[in-house]
Amino acid sequence: MKKNVVRLAIVDPNDTSRSKLKNLLLGIDMVWLEAECSRYEFFTDVVLQASPDIALISLDANPEAGLALISQISSELPNCHILVISSSQEGSLILQAMRNGAREFLSCPLNLEDFLAALDRIQHTSSTARGGDGQVRSNQVITICGVGGGVGCTSLAINLACSLAQHEHNSVAIMDLDLALGDADVWLDIIPDYTIRDVAENISRLDYSLLKRSLTRHECGAFLLPRPVQLDDAHLITAEELRRVIALLKATFTHLVIDTSKAYGPLDYTAMEAADDILLVTQLDLPCLRNVVRLIQHFDMQESLAEKVKIIVNRIGLEDAQISMTKALETIGREVFAKLPNDYATMVQSRNNGEPLLMQSAKAKITKAVDQLAAALTHRPAEPEEAVAKKTRKSFLSMLRGS
């Protein structure tokens, strides 16, 4: 079992609705279904034995028995949060459930977005009660921004996500937010069936299975949500729709990597606001460094963004660069989080072949540098070169056996 997930037990005497509920919950990466029960009278014993974080109780089969069960669990296991679902939204039923100890009351059939919002509220309260040292895994959103075109944002987004996806406890999604000219699908040699526009259009009825079908999985393990096919669709996605899409992806995957456009428009700012880390990618040339200073000054005026920004200097060693790192640091006025070496030939080959670096050039310096960046962002030690190569070989062998 993965560490730091929400452990949940459910009770619903109705086999059909319980099965639908299970299918929804089993698809959410941050939820571990610890136990299920079909009888109200047995559920207290199940909860006492399993000690889940959340007890989910469906009231529809017998509201009276369900209300009594809420009271009993609340009394006997006060550290277990009770989440109630019912097709009835009668005020007196909701009030009695909350009085008996329920933390959340949601409508049935359970909507994925409503459930994730309730889960987030429960997690936040639990973390606050523990002084911020919660046990629930905090999923990570990494938003990648450039100081100009062609500085290497998409290549970094793709290869960073693929590096993160190599670790067994990670599930990773990539969102291409350059809605007009994004080419993340080219870097992964993917022809997607669905795009971010399809997900945004169906956000009100989105469930886990539809969400996963809307993303395309690459061999490395990362999932891609690409830009719209038609240019006309680029302006149809609103900031609110994007915010909800990000929330669902964040709840479903351990890591979400977002490649923004260079327009710094409303959608890009939405992605930055949702981020845990903003990687600002630059090169050592005058136009790029000028834009770094401009952007940092702008971000410093916005508290919600300033502390998230990490500067990434790409293509270190590029022959055309006439500005030293020392001079660049003086100009920028802050430390650089990571430096990525210039390896134009390897990157071009990677893009043209549609293969991430770890699959094509596992031993290259740029591949190691991206893996070290992934390790620094997730606070884990970087894997030895031999381990990365072994995993890559294993991945190829698995692919060949499956073909």
Are residues 119 and 205 located together in one domain of the fold?
Answer: no
Structural domain contains residue 135: no
- Percent pLDDT > 70 in the chain is 87
Domain range for residue 270? 140-402
Q: Which of 189, 198, 211 is nearest to 256 (CA)?
A: 211
> Sign of the CA dihedral 123, 124, 129, 130?
positive
DSSP 119-156: HHHHHHHHHHHTTT--SS---EEEEEEESSTTSSHHHH
The separation between CA 41 and the C-alpha centre of its own chain, rounded to angstroms, equals 38
Are residues 212 and 320 located together in one domain of the fold?
Answer: yes
Structural domain contains residue 41: yes
Structural domain contains residue 295: yes
Are residues 19 and 50 located together in one domain of the fold?
Answer: yes
Q: Indicate the residue among 107, 129, 151 that finishes a domain.
A: 129
Structural domain contains residue 93: yes
> Sign of the CA dihedral 351, 220, 276, 229?
positive
Dihedral of the CA atoms 93, 97, 103, 108 (nearest 10)? -50
Are residues 200 and 82 located together in one domain of the fold?
Answer: no
What is the domain count for the chain? Answer: 2
Q: Which of 161, 133, 273, 288 is nearest to 220 (CA)?
A: 161
Q: Indicate the residue among 73, 108, 129 that finishes a domain.
A: 129
Are residues 41 and 94 located together in one domain of the fold?
Answer: yes
What is residue 249's predicted lDDT score, i.e. its pLDDT? Answer: 87
What is residue 71's predicted lDDT score, i.e. its pLDDT? Answer: 96
Structural domain contains residue 1: no
Return the CATH number at 36: 3.40.50.2300
> Per-residue pLDDT tens for 36-53?
999 999 999 999 988 899
Structural domain contains residue 103: yes
Structural domain contains residue 157: yes
Are residues 148 and 31 located together in one domain of the fold?
Answer: no
Are residues 98 and 232 located together in one domain of the fold?
Answer: no
DSSP 9-70: EEE-S-HHHHHHHHHHHHT-TTEEEEEEES-HHHHHHHHHHH--SEEEEE-TT-HHHHHHHH
Are residues 29 and 92 located together in one domain of the fold?
Answer: yes
Are residues 149 and 101 located together in one domain of the fold?
Answer: no
Are residues 115 and 172 located together in one domain of the fold?
Answer: no
What is residue 400's predicted lDDT score, i.e. its pLDDT? Answer: 40
Are residues 295 and 179 located together in one domain of the fold?
Answer: yes
Q: Indicate the residue among 74, 96, 129 that finishes a domain.
A: 129
Are residues 88 and 170 located together in one domain of the fold?
Answer: no
What is residue 393's predicted lDDT score, i.e. its pLDDT? Answer: 45
Please give the DSSP secondary-structure letter assigned to residue 110: P
Structural domain contains residue 134: no
What is residue 4's predicted lDDT score, i.e. its pLDDT? Answer: 52
What is residue 202's predicted lDDT score, i.e. its pLDDT? Answer: 81
Return the CATH number at 373: 3.40.50.300
Instruction: Collect the ranges in the chain with pLDDT lower than 70.
Output: 1-4, 126-138, 204-209, 319-322, 380-403
